[in-house]
Structure 1
Amino acid sequence: MNNVIYEQVAQNTENSFFYRRCTSWYKSAIGYHQHPELEIGFVIKGGGQRITDDFIENFREGDIIIIPANIPHCWIYDKLACPADERIEEAFIQFPQAFLDRLSRFAKEFQETASFYTNLKQCLSVQGEGAEEIRHILLEFENYNEQQRLIGFLQILMLASCSGNSRYIGHHAFNGIPIHKNKQRLQAVYKYIIENYHRKITLGEVADHIAMNKNAFCLFFKKSVNEPFTVYLNRFRLQMAVTLLNRTDQNISEIAYAVGFADIPYFNRCFKKEYGISPAEYRSKYKR
């Protein structure tokens, strides 16, 4: 089982924050981790699923996420949601609480913005026009000098904190309590599903992955998620099927196999039970 990694963010005494833009293979993204710095993340290319504290959801190109200090998180890229060359691209800014403290003391005009991030206990997904402006700034960061980057960073902080420009991610605020062993196990299960849902997964192999026997794992997962593992796995696969129906021209059989269903009629029955219509009807109605 993979434990949470405590990331050591690069420190630079000459700058108030750390910025990086990188391209890599989709499977090389950092695992489940946390750090005392706040983070602004921008997905330039690629998609998949993200885990923030105890919440899992899809992400896609263009997403802008604000991560408060010490919240465990990871981005797990999915080959089916990435470019054909399997390369992803992302940019992020990390900055310490001390920067916000200095900002508050230096300029009263920024006290409200700094206070917003100081008190932030949930991840934020930036939406709408605010997200579009932030994307533009971050894409230009490579061409900025240090002074321009600082001004751009302050603009990003203001845009993301504005009412109506963001939504909270997850069910509740992060309480700062050290990560319990059971939560680490659950995150390891989520990660295993995300990386292997496209093939047959047995209860035994998942139980082995988190060092539990099969019966104990079944009880643990149902208690943690309020539904059996197989039900959760099927629902996750159906969600991925919806993504492919929306974003590709693959036929229904290809999609069923791609998300781990070996039996096409069974896939169709499961899909209709979950969404009320067949996969073909869903594509006809909702594909953008």
Structure 2
Amino acid sequence: MKSIEQRLPQEFDKSFIVFQEVGQFFPCPWHYHPEYELVLVLKSTGRRMVGDHISYFDEGDLVFMGPMLSHVWVSDPEFIYGQAEYQADAIVVQFVDSFLGKSFMDIPEMEGFAQFLKLSSRGMVIKGQTREKITALMTQMLPMNGLQRLSALLSIFDLLARTSEYELLASPGFVQNVELKSSDHFRRINEHIMQNFHEEISLPQMASIANMAVTTFCNFFKEHYRVTFVEYLNTIRVGHACKLLSERDLNIVEVAYECGFNNLANFNRQFKKFKRMTPSEFRRTLNFN
């Protein structure tokens, strides 16, 4: 089974990822990524594989993993074949150790958590009261604003730094053989999107940058990013729009064009899709007139 590098979409105005996975089953293949990851299963049962460790998961399963550790959650057949009475549901939190600055993990207050991170290269299932407390925090994070969400994440860090309620998963021998290089495809793709999202970016242009045919690029992007290229690009643009809307000197039309949307109707449609409110409503939540 070949492990692939895969990414979740990150909002432009967020320093880390909080993602809810809801569907008939968990679609993610055997994969790895450079972020630390915390996975909380709210609904679904099945098998999970972390490195060379295979176990059964149930509702409430909470696992923390270090960068580049291959893993997969495979729902039971009743979910895969649409026979379950409810959909699979999970919350995923991802971050890199420098998300608050390159020296953040080196400050004295982070010493305990930094030691905990060293163990995460093998992956670990979190248990007991620690799991209960982290579950409560993660389920509250989705609707939170930026600072509230960051505060919740730091509270999770504190719980992990002080806990002994965990079981290591992958064997040391497996971890020593993990490939720690991120694909050059990702670097080129991400750099170009982040530098040019405010302009028109075509599929042929992106395929050329990735050194792929257009069809190959579309398949690669959907497989590794779990969304289409256009969906990912719109995520970045809407995130940047939120940042611009928080400033007083641009009206909504100007924000739309500044973020790469070529018409206001499309901007409003995409913004509401990702933020569940219109740009005007978003601005009103910030107490602007």
Q: TM-score range with shorter-chain normalisation?
A: 0.5 to 0.7
Matched-pair contact (CA < 8 Å) for 1:9–1:35:
no
- Residue correspondence of structure 1 range 95-134 to structure 2 within 5 A: 95-99=95-99, 101-105=102-106, 107-118=107-118, 120-134=120-134
2:73 paired residue number: 75
Matched-pair contact (CA < 8 Å) for 2:61–2:125:
yes
SS of 1:117 mapped into structure 2: helix
1:55 paired residue number: 53
In the alignment, structure 2 segments of 5+ residues that lack a partner are 181-289
Greater relative contact order: 1 or 2 (C-alpha under 8 angstroms, separation 6 or more)? Answer: 2
Matched-pair contact (CA < 8 Å) for 1:103–1:111:
no
Distance 1:141 1:93 in 2: 10
Distance 1:13 1:95 in 2: 14
Shift of 1:55: 1.5
2:170 paired residue number: 170
SS of 2:2 mapped into structure 1: coil
Shift of 1:131: 0.3
2:154 paired residue number: 154
Distance 1:131 1:104 in 2: 23
TM-score, normalised on structure 2? 0.55
2:39 paired residue number: 41
Letter in 2 for 1:125: V
Alignment: residue pair count? 176
Shift of 1:80: 4.7
SS of 1:92 mapped into structure 2: strand
Q: Percent of aligned pairs with the same residue?
A: 23
- Residue correspondence of structure 1 range 139-288 to structure 2 within 5 A: 139-172=139-172, 174-178=175-179
Shift of 1:23: 1.1
Distance 1:133 1:32 in 2: 29
SS of 2:23 mapped into structure 1: strand
Distance 2:134 2:23 in 1: 22
Shift of 1:103: 2.3
SS of 2:142 mapped into structure 1: helix
When structure 1 is superposed on structure 2, of 30-39 and 113-122 the one drifting more is: 113-122
Distance 1:19 1:142 in 2: 7
SS of 2:155 mapped into structure 1: helix
Shift of 1:145: 1.5
Shift of 1:3: 2.2
For the aligned residue pairs, the C-alpha RMSD in angstroms reads 2.4
Distance 1:13 1:75 in 2: 27
